[in-house]
Structure 1
Amino acid sequence: MRVAVTGSIATDHLMTFPGRFSEQLLADRLDRVSLSFLADNLEVRRGGVAANIAFGLGVLGLRPVLVGAVGADFEPYRVWLKDHGVDTDSVRVSASLHTARFVCTTDRAQNQIATFYAGAMAEARAIDLRDVVARTGRLDLVLVSPDDPEAMLRHTRACRDLGIPFAADPSQQLARLDGAEVRELVDGARFLFTNEYETALLLEKTGWSEAEVLRGVGAWVTTHGAAGVRIHGADRDTLAVPAVRADGVADPTGVGDAFRAGFLAGTLWGVPERCAAQLGCAVAATVLGSVGTQEYRLHRDSLLDRIRTTYGVGGTAALVTRLRGLA
């Protein structure tokens, strides 16, 4: 099974603030905010939504095709991704712009304030999925994740034209997209991914009810942090899967990307939807316990133990052979 992951490829600058953002925000001064948070430390890590998801899929033994735009500074990152099973030959390299940057500060309560510089990502709109398919052969699924908005729309249209199933993951770009654009990205998707806040924002942007969204997608996968994940669909019962408890919370950045990698891997393997979601939650818990979005390692026994402890032995039966390639 072949999957392409389109979207952002970036370098993450991750900082921690020992206090709480909420204690520094004055309710009657929010129209004139001027704050500086003294961070305790800085971690510079590889990131970007598409790269994070592709990394997770690669570590799980799939060979995902990464589709996005980067700067000439990308080469060491390319080697890293290739070493972890990611096909990077469809990544466009800009002649003039740097790879995107994500700068994020996390407070003591795990709230985050972030800024994203697009850089070379703006050139992703020049990528044609038809060229990707011509190089790789037929794709079984394309995940359209946050990217240059024109690129997201172009990739979605190409999937429809080529008859390739696609998953919509607009997440951070919901704030940038207008209602018509969100409706175009979502309609006809095999999967729609959002978190709880993005769910409300998507409904507001589109003007659709939840029922109207569900009529246009195969399944709506909503992550709820520590409360786990819910999968909705028209004419079917809602599937609720509890989160896997993390041993410790080191950094929440990239946890949603890790869930998507695990869930999509299980889906592409053809395991039951519940098992795919359980794998996604187990991978997410692993990432939550490490700093950075691609610094984690997946081990077969520890993943299966997490799933077995949270969901019982039935959760591992469909996955045990699929995870055979992990150490």
Structure 2
Amino acid sequence: MRIAVSGSIATDHLMVFPGRFTEQLLSERLNRISLSFLADRLDVRQGGVAANIAFGLGRLGLRPVLIGAAGADFADHARRLTASGVDMGSVRISESLHTARFVCTTDLDQNQIATFYAGAMAEASLIDLGEVQTRTGGLDLLLVGADTPSAMLRHTATAHRLGIAVAADPSQQLARLTPRQTRDLVAGASLLFTNEYESALLLRRTGWSQEEVLARVGAWLVTRGTDGVLVHTADGTRTAIPAVPARTVVDPTGVGDAFRAGFLAGWCHGLSYERASQLGCALATTVLGSVGSQEYGFVWSELLASIDKAYGRSAAAEIADSLGEEAKTDTDRV
């Protein structure tokens, strides 16, 4: 199965505040917030939701197609993604704008406050998914991640027209999307990804109940941080998958993207929602141990061992049999 991932490509500026955001918020002054957080550390890393997910898929042995727009400063990042197995042939390089910037501060409780500058991402709507389909010889699934709303809507509509399955992942752009745009992105999706907060916001944006959303999608996956993932399906099934315990927690940036990469890799290999979610949770926990969303490495046998410990031997065996040597070949190198 050939997967394309559309969405942001960015440079991440990651800072750490050695306190708690909640201790600085005054309930009687929330209508006029004026705060500055003195950070102890700054790390500049490569990121963007589409690039992060594509990186994870590549590390698991797939050859995902990255669809997005970046600037002339993207060359080093592009080389790293190519080396990780990502097809870069459909990335648009802007002649005038820099690659998008993600500026994020994390506190002691792993809460985050972030600002995103679109930059070259503004040109993402100029990419023609039909041309990508022709160049690659066919796509089976398109994940539509956070991007300019016009690009998200265009890619979704084109995928439906071409018969390409869609995984809707509006995430951070729910704050920008109109109710009509949100409904257009969700309706007809084979998969829908949100976190807990985004799931509530999505219901408000669409005006639909949870049941009405599920009547329009194949499955709705809700990530819940340390509480794992909830999988909802239209038949009323609700499956809770616990997270894989983390040995160390360094930085939560990119954890959700790693879950999506692991889930999609498993799902595309025929695993059930539950097994695919378990693989996603294991990969997500791996990301917690490093600063940056594309800095992690892992050994396939060790990843399987963490799945065995968290979910049992049968889960690890089924995932190993499904991905087989394809994943092992690319991921035994840390």
| TM-score in same-fold range (> 0.5) | yes
> Quick one: distance in 2 between partners of 1:54 and 1:241?
23
Q: CA deviation at 1:32?
A: 2.0
What is the CA–CA distance in structure 1 between the aligned matches of 2:30 and 2:271, rounded to whole Å?
A: 48
Shift in Å, 1:273: 2.2
The Cα shift of 1:302 comes to 1.1
2:191 aligned partner, one-letter code: F
2:17 maps to 17
Q: Where does residue 105 of structure 2 map in the other structure? A: 105
Partner SS, residue 134 of structure 1: helix
Aligned to 1:210: 210
Deviates more, 1:239-248 or 1:54-63: 239-248
Task: Kindly report which structure 2 residues correspond to 1:123-272, keeping only aligned pairs within 5 A, or say none.
Answer: 123-272=123-272
Cα displacement string for residues 116-146 of structure 1 (whole angstroms, at most 9, x for unaligned residues): 0000000001111001001001111000000
Find the residue that maps to 1:188 and give its secondary structure: coil
Task: Name the CA distance, whole Å, in 2 between partners of 1:75 and 1:189.
Answer: 33
Partner of 2:279: 279
Please give the per-residue CA displacement for 1:222-247, whole angstroms capped at 9, x wherever unaligned.
11111111111111421211100010
Are 2:320 and 1:324 equivalent residues in the alignment?
A: no
Residue of structure 2 in register with 1:115 after alignment = 115
Of 233-242 and 52-61, deviating more is 233-242
SS in 2 for 1:324: helix
Query: Structure 1 segments of 4 or more deviating over 3 A?
Result: none
Does structure 1 residue 89 correspond to structure 2 residue 89?
yes
Percent of pairs identical after alignment? Answer: 64
- Structure 1: how far apart are the matches of 2:2 and 2:207? 34
Q: Distance in 1 between matches of 2:237 and 2:154?
A: 33
Tell me the distance in 2 between the aligned counterparts of 1:228 and 1:50.
22
Calculate the TM-score normalised by the size of structure 1: 0.99
Q: Counterpart amino acid of 2:90?
A: S
C-alpha contact 2:17 2:39 (8 A) present in aligned 1: yes
> 1:43: which partner in 2?
43
Contact 1:287 1:293 in 2 (8 A): yes
The answer as to whether partners of 2:166 and 2:189 remain within 8 angstroms in 1 is yes
1:302 aligned partner: 302
SS class of match (1:80): helix
Determine the C-alpha separation between the residues in 2 that align with 1:324 and 1:23. Answer: 45
- Conservation of the 8 A alpha-carbon contact between 1:250 and 1:289: yes
Counterpart code for 1:88:
M
- Whether contact under 8 Å (1:59, 1:298) holds in the other structure is no
Would the aligned equivalents of 2:60 and 2:328 in 1 still touch at CA under 8 Å? Answer: no
Amino acid at match of 2:240: A
Contact 2:101–2:119 (Cα < 8 Å) also in 1: yes
Alpha-carbon offset, residue 14 of structure 1: 0.2
SS at match of 2:31: helix
Deviation at 1:298, TM superposition (A): 2.2
Give the C-alpha shift of residue 31 in structure 1: 2.1
Check conservation: 1:168, 1:185, Cα contact below 8 A.
yes
Asked if 1 retains the 8 angstrom alpha-carbon contact of 2:52 and 2:293, the reply is: yes
Deviations 1:15-36 (CA, angstroms, capped at 9, x unpaired):
0000111111222222222211
Cα deviation, 1:169-221, whole Å, max 9, x if unaligned, reads: 00000000011000000000000000000000000011000000000000001
Q: For 1:165 and 1:203, locate their aligned partners in 2 and report how far apart those are by CA, in whole Å.
A: 22
Residue number in structure 1 paired with 2:61: 61
Structure 2 CA distance, aligned partners of 1:303 and 1:272?
18
Question: 2: CA distance between counterparts of 1:300 and 1:107?
Answer: 31
Could you list the runs of 5+ residues in structure 2 that have no partner in the other structure? none
Aligned residue identity for 1:10 = A
Contact 1:239 1:274 in 2 (8 A): yes
How many Å separate the matches in 1 of 2:274 and 2:298? Answer: 20
Unaligned runs of 5+ in 1: none
> Using the alignment, how far apart are the partners of 1:109 and 1:228 within structure 2?
17
Distance 1:209 1:198 in 2: 14
- How high is the TM-score relative to the length of structure 2? 0.97
Letter paired with 2:71: G
Question: What is aligned with 1:8?
Answer: 8
